[in-house]
Amino acid sequence: MSAPIPRALEAERTVLGAVLVDPTVWPAVADRLHAGDFADQRHRAVWTALSRLALADRPADLVTLKDALQATDDLATAGGPAYVAGLLDGVPRITEGGVTAWAGLVREAAQRREVVARIDALKRLADSGERSATELLDKAQATFLEAAAPARGGSFGPDELARIASRELERLALAPDGLVGVTWGLPGLDALTGGLQPGQLVVIGARPSRGKSSLGLQVAEAASGAGAVVMLASLEMGPEEVAVRRVCTEAGVSATWIRGNGANSRHWPGLTAGLARTVQRPLYLEELTAPTVPQIHARAKRLQARAGLGVVVIDYLQLCRATTITRGANRDQELGEVSRGLKAMARRLGVPVVVAAQLNRKAEDRAEGRPHLADFRECGSIEADADVAVLCWWKSDTGDDAELLIAKNRNGPTGSVAVRFNRELARFEEAIPMKGPRLRQRGP
């Protein structure tokens, strides 16, 4: 026996009746409800007619409501003249706060029906046998993450905007060295961007084996060293490689050298001290293979609930997969879904999401080899989705000199930071001497 469908018919009638008794309460409920929130089709028809009257700036009463319903042949759908007139029965004049409370009951029942509908749709998909268990789990995660996403938006008058501006200006003014977000671990990048900001999608682009994973891990280490809880989603490196690289980098010892000389290494005291320092940093590794965005999001939400969350670092974009692959979809469309999903995930979690991504070969065909924002491999939409894009430009194929190019910075200047890649420690270091990052100010 199926469970009853959640409905709040008394609340629906009360809201409609309250608007007819006192049309001035309409603005209080108009932006909280829409026609689909009403379970009774008669109430949906009445609400739609009331919306048309408001749009035409006509007063709402029984006469104008019946005229509006007749104009669209919806009077019968609304239950007929007798039912429409009956909406006023027993409805007193309700305050704005009271009608808002009734509207909340209508919305609550509508959300419950949405949950039931999503569950039913997943059950039908499972019963059809068209999807594997893994695909069904991915679909379920995506479905409920979407349903649980907090609604964004609001109305802000001059007073509210002034308060927001005052609060933000104070935060910016008090930030040490202009660092209003989480540190990159490289002062030049911090100076250009102000650090990693909540809700941002930050993309690190490079050709294969040209430093994108190293820079991603370096960012994760610097952020956790500054006290931010970091989730590192590693799609390529295993936990052993990540763990050893962290300790060796902290101790200033080449991991390659350790492999050949570890048994008699004079560096063991330094490695032991490095291990003790890294264990104090709140960095959590999630080893994943070809994950979907909902899978990454679910693990991030779990960590956020357990320990808090400051930054998510993902290595790397092209190893992720779409939740559902539409028949005939190409790779660009699939990764476009991933890119948009990561951006939405950053907004929902309220933390910066840093993702490494491969660049294509176009840059190598240019005279200088300087990469452009349009060079992201198999994923053109990353140009639109990214808030900040950092591209690694190597001066030569064999040297260690490079520049980190800020090709996109939605809220600040673009520019570049001269760096040198320390191959022994697999990390970027700012070039010395260095006068500071080269800036290209945004135009008007």
Instruction: With CA atoms as reference, report the closest residue to 188 among 443, 3, 438, 441.
Output: 438
Please give the structure tokens belonging to residue 289: 């293979």
Phi-psi region of 27 (alpha: psi -120 to 50; beta: other; left: phi over 0): alpha
Distance between CA atoms of residues 362 and 43, nearest Å = 58
Q: What pLDDT does 269 receive?
A: 81
Spatial neighbors of 95 by CB under 8 A, at least 6 apart, are 25
Tell which wins on pLDDT, 124 or 55.
Answer: 124
153 has pLDDT over 70: no
Distance between CA atoms of residues 134 and 140, nearest Å = 10
Cα dihedral sign for 130, 132, 137, 142?
negative
Instruction: With CA atoms as reference, report the closest residue to 392 among 367, 379, 375, 413.
Output: 375
pLDDT digits (tens, 9 = 90+) for 90-136: 777 777 788 889 999 999 999 888 888 888 888 888 888 887 887 77
Residues of the chain above pLDDT 70, percent: 86
Radius of gyration from C-alpha coordinates of the chain: 28
Cis peptide preceding 284, ω within 30 of 0:
no
| Angle value at C-alpha 161, between 157 and 162, nearest 5 degrees | 115
* pLDDT band at residue 55 under the 50/70/90 scheme: confident
* pLDDT band at residue 7 under the 50/70/90 scheme: confident
Does the predicted TM-score (pTM) go above 0.85?
no
Instruction: With CA atoms as reference, report the closest residue to 216 among 356, 317, 346.
Output: 356
Q: What pLDDT does 229 receive?
A: 94
Q: What pLDDT does 57 receive?
A: 77
Strand intervals (E) in 82-211: 201-206
Name the residue type at position 94: I
Spatial neighbors of 14 by CB under 8 A, at least 6 apart, are 91, 94, 99, 102
* pLDDT band at residue 326 under the 50/70/90 scheme: low
Helix axes 96-128, 9-21, angle to 10 degrees: 140
Structural domains of the chain in order of their starting residue, each with its CATH number: 9-130 (1.10.860.10), 182-440 (3.40.50.300)
